Every structure is written in C-alpha cells, then in structure tokens.
Amino acid sequence: MNSIKTAKSALVSVFSKDGLAPIVKKLDELGITIYSTGGTEKFIKEQGINVIPVEDVTSYPSILGGRVKTLHPKVFGGILNRQNNESDVAELQEYEIPQIDIVIVDLYPFEKTVASGASEQDIIEKIDIGGISLIRAAAKNFADVLCVSSVNDYAEFLNLLNEKNGQTSAEDRKRFAAKAFNVSSHYDTAIFNYFNAEEVVYKASITEGKKLRYGENPHQEGYFFGEFDAMFDKLHGKELSYNNLLDVDAAVNLMGEFANDDPTFAILKHNNACGIATRSTIHDAYVAALAGDPVSAFGGILIANTQIDKPTAEEIHKLFCEVVIAPSFSDDALEVLKGKKNRILLIQKEVALPKTQVRTCLNGVLVQDKDLKTDAVSELEHKTNNKPSENELEDLIFASKICKHTKSNTIVLAKNKQLCASGTGQTSRVDALRQAIEKANSFKFDLKGAVMASDAFFPFPDCVEIADNAGITSVIQPGGSIKDQLSIDYCNDNGVSMVFTGTRHFKH
C-alpha cells in the first residue's frame, strides 16, 4: 500500500460553515474536485468556487425534505473502494463512480438541540444519518481516504493542506480516523442516553479532556475529562492538580447548600470542611471559618457564596492556600490575592451539575443518584420533651448541611452558625464524636450550647451521653435504629433536645 496519497477529490457536507471558507478555497487552489449538496453546496458557490452537486453524481435529487441526500452507492462506493484492489477499481469504472479522497463532515448539533429544550420533533430531526454514515465509511477506509469529522478539526486539516499541498500520509489519515470514530461514538452515546428510559445500561462519553501533571500521587498518571472552563473563569495561578480538582468539587458541592444563605465562607482540606461559618459579612464569615481550624487551613481550598472584597482578601492573603473560589472578586481584592503567583483564583459560574455520581468499583463502575436532599426545619421530627430553640434549629440545619458533605462516619459540632469541629472518616461513630470534641477543645471552643449532627443513626445512647457531658444541648440525626428509644430516653432524662430527619447522609 502506498502510504502517501495525493487527493484529487473531496466530498464536503457540513452543518457548521465556520472556518470552512479557507478550506474550500485551498482545495480549489490545489485543483481538488469538490462534491457537495444542500446548504454546503450553496455556501461553496458563494465563495466563487466550482462545486459538483452530489445529485449530478447519483442522478437522484435530495428527497424527503433533505433526509436523504448522500445515501447512495455512487457516493459510498467512491469512499469505500480499496484503491489497491483491482476488482474495486474495475467496479468504479463499470458503474461510473468517482473516487473520493477526502470527506469533510460536521454533524447536526444533537446535544445542543436537546440542551436548548427543543421539542422532541426538532430533536429527532437533528439526528444525523447521512453525515454519521459518511464519517464511518471514510474513517474505515483510512488507508485511502482522509476524514474530517468535526468543525473542531477544520484548523488542523487546513494546516495539513497548506503544509503538504493535498498529500497525506497513512499516519495523517489514521489520526483523523481516530478523531472520526471518537465523534461517531460520542454522537451515538448522546442519542442513546436521550432515548433510554428503561435499559439498565451505563454509557458515557466526554470529548473534552486534559492530561494533568500527575494523579493523586506523583507516580500516578492523571486526567480530567470535562468542560472546566464552562464552570469556572480561572483568573490567576498555576494549573490545577488532580487533588485540587477533587477539593474544588467538594467545595462546590458543600457551598451549594449555602447558595441562598447569608454570607458564608468555607475552608476545605482533603475534601472535608475544616472551617465554615455564616455571618453578616463575608469578611466576618472568613475569620470565623478560619478560627474553626487554623492549622488544617494551611494549604486548603477556600470558597465563598458571595463576592470577596478587599478586607476579606487581605485576611486571606495572610494564609497559604491553594485555591480561592467565589462568584466574583472586587478589583482591589484581586489585586491583593494575585500577590501570590501560584494561588489559583476561580470565578464560579452558574452551571447545572450532574445529578448522578460515578466511580470505579471492582471490574466495573457504580452509579447512583446524587444526594440532593437537604434537611429542612419544616421536615424535622421532634422526638424529645425538650424542643430546640430557634437558634438551635438554625444551628442544627447548619450542622446537618456540613455533615452531609463530610466523610463517614462523621459527627459535626456547631454553634452560632460556625463549625466548631468534626470527626471525619472514623470506623466508629463514638470515635468520630470524641475526635470532634477533642479538636474543638484544642481550639478553645466552648461547646456549652453547641449542637451535634450525625450522618447516621445512633445504635446506642453512648453518643448522646458523651455529647451531653461535653455541653451539647441539641442533636440532629436520621433516626431509624431499633434502639432509638434508648437515645431518646437519655435526652429526656438530661434535658437534651433531639430531632430526627428521616434521611441518612453517608458519604464514602
């Protein structure tokens, strides 16, 4: 097989015409015959370039409202023939089928049409049939044909034309074939996921990807697949690492619970909050959040639910931190925060997040609905004789939101909408509580009048007893243990209020 091919003809049938004009002009300059149809044919003619309508090759017009234009043996024969096969060459001559050396296609925008909220009829019409068939045919026959399968590849193809004057190597064609099958498989996955309502099948395809410096540790490879720029404007700092991205994800999910609350600031480390507080100003919220654990805050991820101003930025600037996230920054705050060249500053945009979670497991994957349930005062079940005060109720919900986003087993202690401490990732709920109390005491928090949140029920009354002895006056937990009454009885005997949510919030 001759690996170098000189193109003599090209079939062009695209949805997006952006960037197409210089390509067809270059094809014409190189003397490459252009075949086209419909709107693409019209566009090429408007460039003053000669183009042969596909209908002149097939002797059939575009029919069924444009649904059938290129689906014809004289088109696909020109693409799929093997140029080193004598029988194929003879059949081309016998049936007067033109050889096609380049296929340029850009598919109907199915995903964008779905995302726009269009009607089902409009969505169905954006399922490309001819285009996807052309892509698969040209990519399959990469030995002889070069396939340009997306507007995203126009620039690379134009560079190839300019550099090699219409010649392509086997490596060029195979590289573009890989791109083509990536496009076709992604397109089919999107269509399947739109239609599927009953099949228990997991199909996912993300075309945006980036290689990271490394994974969780330097000896591991790491990649991020997704449209990061659609969610954030990166204003300053170094490239985000694998661990940065995990922490940013945890921060965004946690702060989502406080999106509509008063100014709230959180500091996270290893995906867990080490400090969070709600106050009347974002400056005061940051100061209170930092007080929750100024040691763990070193090298942390910071996030606010409102604009970061200069006074807050000046406080932040005293701390070494990896990332600062906010809906916006004042100009003078940015000037301060950019004082550290590696500090990453992100403006978070309003983007819908996935409602499912996926993780590898054994030789497959686990998929689940995201925990979108936020506990609310109106849904609480009061289980004790003593009822929480209004301030305690606010703190209980505050603590519950944090608890939901902390690694299990967890206990969260809060007071006056400030995280006092949490016990995270413990194998015993008692250990988690003791860890939280010890930590709170080490940072001089007065736990008298504080509240406690647990991500799961208490199987024994030991936790409420330990909490009571530490000064905790109110408890929020899911309930559901066959021994719930033991904890209720202890609370009633000792003046502790307790509410049940009915919802467990494990996070593994």
Per-residue pLDDT of 53-99, as tens digits, reads 988 888 777 777 777 777 788 888 989 999 888 898 898 888 888 99
Average pLDDT over residues 201-210: 88
pLDDT attached to residue 70? 74
Does 38 score more than 90 pLDDT? no
Contact 333, 235 (CB under 8 A): no
* Active-site residue identified among 8, 25, 140, 373: 140
SS3 annotation, 161-211:
HHHHCCEECHHHHHHHHHHHHHHHHHHHHHHHHHHCCCCCCCCCCCCCEEE
* Residue 186 known to be catalytic: no
3-state helix, strand, coil in the chain (%, to 5): 40, 20, 40
* Residue 270 known to be catalytic: yes
pLDDT band at 2 (very low <50, low <70, confident <90, very high): low
For the chain, give the percent of residues with pLDDT over 90. 84
Does 353 score more than 70 pLDDT? yes
pLDDT digits (tens, 9 = 90+) for 305-349: 999 999 999 999 999 999 999 999 999 999 999 999 999 999 999
pLDDT attached to residue 91? 86
pLDDT band at 187 (very low <50, low <70, confident <90, very high): very high
pLDDT attached to residue 302? 98
Higher-confidence position of 55 and 264: 264
Average pLDDT along the chain: 94
Average pLDDT over residues 405-414: 97
Higher-confidence position of 63 and 169: 169
Phi, psi of 223 (to 5 degrees): -140, 150
Average pLDDT over residues 132-159: 94
pLDDT digits (tens, 9 = 90+) for 421-463: 999 999 999 999 999 999 999 999 999 999 999 999 999 999 9
pLDDT attached to residue 16? 87
* Active-site residue identified among 8, 164, 186, 270: 270
